Amino acid sequence: MRLETEAFGDAAFDTVIVGSVTEVKMPAADSAVVRYVKAAAKTSRRVASICSGAFVLAEAGLLAGRRATMHWAHASEFRVRYPDVLTEEDRIFINDGAVWTSAGMTAGIDLALALLDNDLGGDVAKLVARLLVMNQRRLGGQMQHSALLDMTPKSDRIELVFAHIRRNLRNPLTVEELADVANLSPRQFSRTFQAETGQSPAKAVEQLRLEAARFMIEQGRHTINVVARETGFADRERMRRAFVRTFGVPADVLRRTARAERI
């Protein structure tokens, strides 16, 4: 297989994007790639990295004192190597001044849409998202890891329970009700659910409520009181406590962060 390349030359770029590096122990501060990125950044409007490309930006001195993210698997090593960077491994992407960094894999798409939004507006970004068959745009503040991935059911009956929970989040959802859906006694249901998901039914219901509430909060279309009611938290204060316990911040702070990222 042949790949034809062409030297960039000395032309200035509007945006310099550094992709993932195959070995994060690279690159050395004096490598040709680092030297090139450092020089290109001086004449570019902004620089960005995807996944472990953040190592290149850090070696080039472009992340010192800035907030940055990357794939969570690289965060521990990154934090040790670059203590002067404010590493936030739980973010999808981060914009700090003229520097953008993102997590890995599909987060690169979220970064690209954010750059489009920044340059051409939300309507263009939404159009591109639709062309990419994305059912929603993720904001930078969203977490890389969803707790729901740890609760994948192994049987059809527990899958039916999850579907029932999602359809009825605004309701109380007792163990007895969920056991009826699974056609098990409450005791059998609790044991089976715990064995398949690693969570108690009550904890799983709260996680599903939190995921739904967080999405609604970040979309910004409903008041916090409405979000609390529609996701089954009964009242705003109960939802606030759940948000602080799980996400470290109350819902109103998350909403302000999401709103700022859309500006």
| pLDDT tens-digit readout, 64-81 | 999 999 887 788 888 889
Cβ-in-10-Å burial (0-12, 13-18, 19+) of 233 comes to buried
Neighbouring C-beta atoms of residue 82, cutoff 10 Å: 19
pLDDT in tens, 9-42: 666 789 999 988 766 555 565 688 899 999 999 9
Tell which CATH classification among 3.30.70.2170, 3.50.50.60, 1.10.10.60, 1.20.1440.130 matches the domain 147-261.
Answer: 1.10.10.60
Catalytic residue among 24, 37, 51, 107: 51
Once rounded to an integer, what is the mean pLDDT over residues 159-167? 91
Q: Is the N-terminal amide bond of 201 cis, ω within 30° of 0? A: no
* Residue 51: active-site member: yes
Q: Is residue 206 within 8 Å of residue 231, measured between CB atoms?
A: no
φ/ψ (deg, to 5) at 169: -60, -35
pLDDT in tens, 177-206: 999 999 999 999 999 999 999 899 999 999
Look up the CATH number of domain 15-132: 3.40.50.880
- Per-residue pLDDT band for 231 (boundaries 50, 70, 90) equals very high
pTM metric for this prediction:
0.57
Distance between CA atoms of residues 93 and 49, nearest Å: 10
